[in-house]
Structure 1
Amino acid sequence: MQYDPNPNANTWAMILHFSQFAGYVVPIAGFLAPIVIWQLKKDDIPSLDAHGRNVTNWLITEFLFSILCTILLFVGIGFLGFLILAVLSVIFPIIGGIKASQGEVWKYPLTIHFV
């Protein structure tokens, strides 16, 4: 990772990861807040771009997995898929936020790369 002269870079990266939890308060905010933070701050904080891409890729992948789990409900295993997805949607942002606070960019496992 390149040096970022902004002393708040790690804090903003951590906020970006943790902003996914805003969806537990306002349903769509968990998808919108990270993308809005990324788009507003990526020019001021260059290192935030990698974090924003990782989180956005995870959000799109998570959405696609939820569609797949919905289809699998008819086969009977969709509930298990939703349970796993729910656990991962809590664990991944926490790990990403902790790593971001230490200045590391952590790529979420199982993520399809779109952006």
Structure 2
Amino acid sequence: MNHLVGKDERMWAMIAHLSALIGFLIPFGNVLGPLLVWLFKREEGPFFEEHGKEALNFSISVTIYAAISSILLIVFIGVILLTALFFFWIVFVVIAAVRANEGKTYRYPLTLRFIK
């Protein structure tokens, strides 16, 4: 994308990414936040559509990775994986939000693309 993306569209794209942090307060809020923002605002424009889908796909992917890591708690490696996943999640959500606010596209690493 370029600098022609409107301020409102950039703000909502940033909110789509940051809404995943609701997961700190509500179980599965990390998926519900981006899902709700995307559902209500997806018609706002292609820039938001792209960021909304990306935020939702990343949140779903992180939830799957957390479930697998939780199962691996049995063999202790899960503790290490969950800790690494937590920091990975926070860092990349913030990076994506900043990029969205700058009007740039962003693709999260290690993301399963369920919503196309």
Alignment TM-score, normalising by the size of structure 1: 0.89
Distance in 2, matches of 1:14 and 1:5, equals: 13
How far, CA to CA, are the matches of 1:28 and 1:57 in structure 2?
14
Residue 43 of structure 2 corresponds to which residue in structure 1?
A: 43
**1:57-77 Cα distance to aligned partner (Å, 9 max, x none):** 111111111121122112220
Equivalences, count? 115
CA distance in 2, matches of 1:94, 1:10: 14
CA separation in 1, counterparts of 2:92 and 2:29? Answer: 17
The residue type paired with residue 47 of structure 2 is S
Cα deviation digits, residues 41-88 of structure 1 (max 9, x gap): 111233111111111111111111112112211222010000011101
Distance 1:38 1:3, change over 3 A: farther
Say whether residues 1:32 and 2:32 are aligned partners: yes
Aligned partner of 1:110 in structure 2 is 110
Partner of 2:72: 72
Deviation at 1:30, TM superposition (A): 2.7
Identity %: 30
Partners of 1:91 and 1:61 lie apart in 2 by: 15
- Following TM superposition, the consecutive aligned residue runs of length 4 or more in structure 1 with deviations greater than 4 angstroms are 2-6
TM-aligned CA deviation for residue 15 of structure 1: 1.0
Matched position secondary structure for 1:64? helix
